[in-house]
Amino acid sequence: MTNKRQIPFLHWAKRANGTRVAHWKPSPRLRKMGWKNRMLGTGDQEEEVVLAALALNKQVADWENARGSMPAPNKPRRRIFADLITEYRDSSEWRDLAHATHKEYNTRLRFLESWAMDGRLPLDQLDTQMVIDLKEAMLSRPVPKAEGEEDDDDEDEEGGRKPNPNLHRTAATLRVLRLLMNWAVARKWIEINPTTNVRIPTPPSRTAALLPDQVEAAALAAEKSETPAVALALRLNLWIIQRRADVLALNRLSWRVLEDVEPTDRAILANPRGEVKGFRLRQQKTGKWVCCPVPPDMHDAVEAAFERSQWLVPDDSDLTRACPEYLFTRRVRPILDSVGLHKYEFRDMRRSGMMMYAQMRVTLPGITAISGHAVTGKKTILDTYMPGNERLACDAVATALRTIAARKQREQSNG
């Protein structure tokens, strides 16, 4: 067979999910004359792709010789839903998305492609009534997961069960569909976005938060059940207040000595070796760098974990890799249930920690220096490229520890 690398105009690209896709892309001169880009197939259809590319090249050759088979240059090609997904995934907008957003969008795109007649639905046939029917169908009955969708789709980005899976899944799917349709309108593939007048449901915000004593009870239960990594993650995330995916991504390289510390804060945060230590990480969802100081009484536990594996929470069946999110969720659930915390999830640790800091008189800028939230509600270029505010984060943890110590001292005096 002809070597595919030597076939003119045949180009292979790799999508975010690993699928190889072939496109026939004519030269700029041919495009001006009316020849259009075409998607030929995927990596598992290589033989058909090569034959299709050779056939198109023969058409070009015949046209060049006879000028008799040129496609009509003024007749626009009828776009189908699969074209929209392919072009969007090849765009700079897609490349600029965070890895976590790619994962979420891929789940929605697979479902939408299946809904749109496996991608064969012409875009000009997609109307508002079809979108309304999709919304009502998703809300009224369980919807089969798209191909490749994991069992934990009913969890949010912080790893907790959603109170109404149908509502959350419907809202997420319609948001992606609206984005796609806006993208098509901007490129003049369609004139009107069919989702514009369809209200996207708003899932309720979660407000559950654990008290420090409840977190400690769960951590002790984890130790009793011989899952020390879960115990460490529970205790630690009360202080570092990160999303589940970022906690599971913590490794030995992110654990470091912190130098930009006020002398008064150093006296509170330093371990017996005189070191102030914590994590520096780039959040997967936001891309923001944050600094997360860790109280000194937890340093030995963290370093013991890194003696076992390079990952803070490893996969017990393979210590060379981080614990997968779905497996971590399965480990945490029975532990919380065992101490009566049935309505709580690991994602509540992030909210619980922020509430703890606020109750310990830590300022909002200090809390957000650790959590990574934008104080003004909008991420700036500084959030993306500048390092985390190490000094402010250390001040936040030191302030909380001082408040805790002062309260304990008052309780002892009053007792």
The answer to whether 266 touches 396, Cβ cutoff 8 Å, is no
Q: Is 55 helix (H, G, I), strand (E, B) or coil?
A: helix
Is 0.85 surpassed by the pTM of this model?
no
- Helices first, then strands: H and E counts in the chain: 17, 8
Tens of pLDDT, residue by residue over 98-130, are 887 888 899 999 999 999 989 999 998 999 999
- Residue among 249, 209, 221 at smallest CA distance from 333: 221
**Neighbour count for residue 5 (Cβ, 10 Å):** 7
With both helix axes pointing from N to C terminus, report the angle between 228-240 and 299-308 in degrees, rounded to the nearest 10: 130
Residue whose token pair is 């109280």 = 295
Of 394 and 27, more confident:
394
Tens of pLDDT, residue by residue over 55-103, are 888 888 887 776 654 454 555 678 899 999 999 999 888 988 888 788 8
Phi-psi region at 364: left, alpha or beta (left = phi > 0; alpha = psi -120 to 50): alpha
**Neighbour count for residue 294 (Cβ, 10 Å):** 22
Per-residue pLDDT band at 244 (split at 50, 70, 90): very high
- Residue among 103, 108, 173, 89 at smallest CA distance from 146: 108
DSSP state for residue 146 in the 8-state scheme: P
**Neighbour count for residue 410 (Cβ, 10 Å):** 10
Range 12-41 average pLDDT = 82
DSSP H or E segment with residue 293: strand 289-293
pLDDT > 70 in the chain, percent? 86
Angle value at C-alpha 282, between 280 and 285, nearest 5 degrees: 145
